[in-house]
Chain A
Amino acid sequence: MHSAVQRANTVATIAAILLATICAAASFLDAFNSPSLQAHVQVVKINRFRRQLDGNDEVKMTLKMSMDLTSLFTWNTKQVFVFLAAEYETDTNSLNQVSLWDHIVQEKERASFQVKVPTKYPLIDQGTNLRGKKVGLVLHWHIMPISGRMIQGKMPLSNFSLPDSYTTRS
């Protein structure tokens, strides 16, 4: 405190510590946010169900989705990454999770929407187990805050069954 430079150093240090404190407080308050979101997904049609040249099953389908993610957003939210995973069980793997579609929502105003889209990524199996398989669709989300730790969540949605035999593109 004897010279202006020392005082400037003290101001900068205390300001940095208090900045960390208010960011930690903002992140801490996020834990009290209990989200209640709604989502609905429906498989419109299976576009292609075939066996690839390297031996794995591949499915491409069209999905109709509607979801309301506004309750996930707080004042400390930077963006929400949401993806739809197909989950099923095979003989070799007790749980397979394959991401079919994902989306980044950056504003609370754009968090409620309905889309009818083909899947971004095909459902490719490790093997040839998909014929007649019962597949569950689960919506996962990652909330990325401005300050703090990432928050994950998921919600199981409807199930559907794949056809018993391969189809060609219709």
Chain B
Amino acid sequence: MAGRSEFSASARGKDRNCSTQSYLCRGDSHVFPSSPVLKARINEMDWQGQKHAEMLMQIFLVFSAVAAFGAGYLMRDFRLMMLIYAGGVVLTALVTVPNWPYFNRHPLKWLDPSEAEKHPKPQVSNITSSSSSKKKASKNK
């Protein structure tokens, strides 16, 4: 995932209650517009959205290929088959490739910074005799 400054914006105290990665909670929502087209370029998809987008892509493409072949065979026109298939591919790309907000309906909930401070990252120990036990303890966290 591309790194964003969620922690720093939330830590600045602007939106302490908000823990999503959406730009609305980063504290700089006044910069970004509300149109879905530009939202698609800024936000990314969540996991559910990616799976949904991939499934849609496969279904659209296979359907385009089958429909194009059927139409070309029935109308006895090779050029028609190519045109329908090209249209289907372009439609699939328009629906699937950009980060539409529709694919971001289950956004990830990042950990709040105050919560993260309660569980600090384990420090590397200089004592050689207890280094292995400390590493095991940190892994259990």
Contact = CB atoms under 8 A, between A and B. Distances in A.
Interface of A: 1-4, 7-8, 10-11, 14-15, 18-19, 21-22, 25-26, 29, 74-76, 146-147
Contacts of A146: 78
B29 interface: no
A3 B1 CA distance: 9
Interface majority SS (helix, strand, loop, mixed), chain B: helix
Given A7-B96, A75-B78, A18 B62 contact: yes
B97 A26 contact: no
A76 B44 CA distance: 43
Given A7-B97, A75-B72, A15 B61 contact: yes
B57 A7 contact: yes
Interface of B: 1, 44-45, 50, 53-54, 57-58, 61-62, 64-65, 68-69, 72-73, 76-78, 81, 85, 89, 92-93, 96-99
B77 A75 contact: yes
Contacts of A75: 72-73, 76-78
Contact of B44 (A3, A11, A15, A147): A3
Max count, chain B CB within 10 A of own CB: residue among A10, A75, A146: A75
Interface majority SS (helix, strand, loop, mixed), chain A: helix
A25 B69 contact: yes
A22 B89 CA distance: 14
5 contacts: A10-B54, A15-B92, A26-B72, A29-B73, A75-B76
Nearest to B95: A11
A25 to B, nearest CB: 6
A22 B78 contact: no
Nearest to B88: A15
Contacts of B62: 18
Nearest to A76: B78
B50 A11 contact: no
B57 A26 contact: no
